[in-house]
Amino acid sequence: MHPLKNNAAYNRQRTSPRLNLLEETRFEKLPVTVFPDQHIASVKVAQRIADLIRSKQDKGEQAVLGLATGATPVGVYAELVRMHREEGLSFRNVITFNLDEYYPMQPDAAQSYVTFMNENLFNHIDIQKENVHIPDGTLPKEEIHEYCLSYERRIEEMGGLDLQILGIGRTGHIGFNEPGSAPNSGTRLVTLDDLTRRDAARDFGGKENVPTKAITMGIGTIFKAREIILMAWSQKKASILKKAVEGEMSSEVPATYLQLSDSVEFVLDEAAASELTRFNTPWLVKDCVWDIQMRKKAVIWLSQTLNKPILKLTEEDYNNNGMAQLATEFGPAYNINIDIFNKMQHTITGWPGGKPNADDSQRPERAEPAHKRVVIFSPHPDDDVISMGGTFIRLVDQGHDVHVAYQTSGNTAVWDDDVLRYVEFAIDFNTSIGNDTARLQQIYDDMRGFIEEKHPNQVDTKEILNVKGFIRKSEALAGARYAGLEDENIHFMALPFYETGKHKKNSVSDKDIELTMKLLQRVKPQQVFAAGDFADPHGTHIVCFKIIVDALQRLREAGEEWVNDCWLWMYRGAWHEFETHEIEMAVPLSPQEVLRKRQAIFKHQSQKDTPVFPGDDSREFWVRAEERNRETAERYHKLGLADYEAMEAFVRYNY
């Protein structure tokens, strides 16, 4: 028991909500509000904007708003549009100043922030066009300096910004104030960080097409706003947010300068806030409810922090690292160590489909049925072998009825010159067997002409998209066959939501879910593997995962008994792995199995070397996968467990 638990003053403090909040947030250097998800948060921010607009209307005043672009504020703008349409919220007294614009940039370009703001907000409300201000990306360079000064003067003439909305980039930039920006900087032309350009690559059809410069409000300009709200969603932003909220002020993370403001608030969803101390290591700031997951997380964290195997952690280690409460409630320390060590050991299995005729009470998968029906869902045509290729091969080798389902065609991720190469091959082949190639030659000539004149991110012709899809399909077939599957167990779903030919996809429809239900009903699996990488909430992985869950839930509601015996396992993609304490099944790979997995990945030749969308990791996919799997095995070994060559990790999802 805590030594002060029976002290009246202590208990009064412990029950004071304000004091509890201060204790929990003592690492945080500015106000942070966390909502369960981005949708709830977006509605709350939109309501605050609407309240400001209405308050100004009541006084006969204008509301001056600083607005941001990008994925983060889209939900806020959608809610403002809804309030305009359904609640009569008027924007006739609103004046807006946008944070930034690429340079050079034509206002009618698909990637311009003029287009973004019109499509997401201005075209749907009654704002007066003369009250809208967005930096001009068409100016001659010699005019930009004076233009930026006039932009600042115009804000001041309007009485200054009442409210500034911000997002945050992975470099820590606000607006386009990249690392190195001064806290008193004004509106100006800036050079974009390489990471910022990589993050924009999809919108421009490749990083080489992203402008290298932008016009942005400065940090000093932002600071003059009477209220500042910075919003951020998803795990992708968690690490930079920890630096911005808890780190020291530095020009290396421009958002840290907001710690100087008395008028700022960070509004986050739970995923974006997940690395803040009060969520990631709560035992450092408050008493915890020590359920098994919290104990597991804390002990593994302590082992990793001290670089000591679990079984060597001592009472002193617990007491000196904020875990005295755990040691008191569940100690002695060695008992806690044994318990967590055993739980981690029981996640390791060489039988991902369950070990036949074995006691499965301490194993992650069921022993029966000995030979399971398995569906591996792959959002893109290579996620299966990149993310769980070793487990895929082992499931086949161990006699399970394995099916793989490629949910999308992946036809936007193939280089144009590969298309020409494959069609040239088709022409030569047709010629070699005496077939007429006139029609094919004409299609090829049209393709080549289109590609030569193609604009960045322009949607391909139907013929080009088809060839790109055929390339990905042939590679997926080769990879699945190498893993040991017969052709009848390889399924190409081409879910409709994806087939737009561009980066922005359609919304999920009943057709996507019905196609998935049909496949599941055909196989009636006892095991389903699906990509559980939710770092990017707008990415294909999370969309595909939600389709699978919806399909399983609908089948259950329809009375399909087999669904009750179907376990859903999540795997992660090429970039990230589950946290060690989250892992529920770890499948060790031998050196030979690592090589077999590598060969399966090599079948995806269009994704080797430099793929169209490599993300912010320059390594090839097979290198990323091997190093990630090796790192997982090393983390297990450092906890005091067996030393394996590599490990693939899985978490079970209860739907």
Mean pLDDT value across residues 435-455: 96
Which stretches does DSSP call E strand in 93-217? 94-98, 100-103, 132-133, 163-166, 188-191, 213-216
At residue 501, does pLDDT exceed 90?
no
Pick the residue with more confidence: 290 or 20? 290
In the residue annotation, 178 being an active-site residue is answered as yes
Q: How far, in Å, are 335, 379, 472, 487, 506 from residue 494 at the CA level?
A: 52, 10, 12, 17, 13
The predicted pLDDT at position 553 comes to 98
Contact 307, 638 (CB under 8 A): yes
Q: What is the CATH number of domain 31-278?
A: 3.40.50.1360
Contact 612, 413 (CB under 8 A): yes
The predicted pLDDT at position 236 comes to 87
Pick the residue with more confidence: 549 or 4? 549
CA distance 196 to 420: 31
- Calculate helix-pair angle for 38-58, 74-87, nearest 10 degrees: 50
Task: List CB contacts of 312: < 8 A, sequence separation 6 or more.
Answer: 337, 640
At residue 121, does pLDDT exceed 50?
yes
At residue 423, does pLDDT exceed 80?
yes
pLDDT tens digits, 108-120: 999 999 999 999 9
pLDDT tens digits, 303-319: 999 999 999 999 999 99
How would DSSP label each residue in 52-68? HHHHHHHTT--EEEEE-
Locate the domains of the chain by residue range. Answer: 31-278, 288-318, 373-413+469-653
> Which class for 503: exposed (0-12), middle (13-18), buried (19 or more C-beta within 10 A)?
middle
Q: Do domains 31-278 and 373-413+469-653 have the same CATH topology?
A: yes
Least confident span in 195-204, 240-249, 363-372, 529-538: 529-538
The predicted pLDDT at position 20 comes to 55
CATH architecture of structural domain 373-413+469-653: 3-Layer(aba) Sandwich (3.40)
Contact 126, 90 (CB under 8 A): yes
CA distance 438 to 443: 9
The predicted pLDDT at position 448 comes to 97
Pick the residue with more confidence: 484 or 17? 484
Mean pLDDT value across residues 253-262: 96
The predicted pLDDT at position 536 comes to 58
pLDDT tens digits, 556-572: 999 999 999 999 999 99
Q: Which listed residue (152, 178, 593, 648) is catalytic? A: 178
The predicted pLDDT at position 12 comes to 31
Neighbours of 272 (CB within 10 A): 29
* 206 phi-psi bin (left φ>0, alpha ψ -120 to 50, beta other): left
CA distance 610 to 222: 38
CA distance 114 to 137: 10
Mean pLDDT value across residues 347-375: 96
Residue % of the chain over a pLDDT of 70: 95
At residue 14, does pLDDT exceed 50?
no
Contact 391, 647 (CB under 8 A): no
Q: What is the pTM of this model?
A: 0.88
SS3 482: helix
At residue 21, does pLDDT exceed 50?
yes
Q: How confident is the model at residue 3 (pLDDT cuts 50, 70, 90)?
A: very low
Q: What is the DSSP letter of 520?
A: H
At residue 547, does pLDDT exceed 70?
yes
Give the mean pLDDT of the chain.
93
Neighbours of 471 (CB within 10 A): 24
Q: How confident is the model at residue 589 (pLDDT cuts 50, 70, 90)?
A: very high
Helices and strands per DSSP (H, E), number in the chain? 23, 17
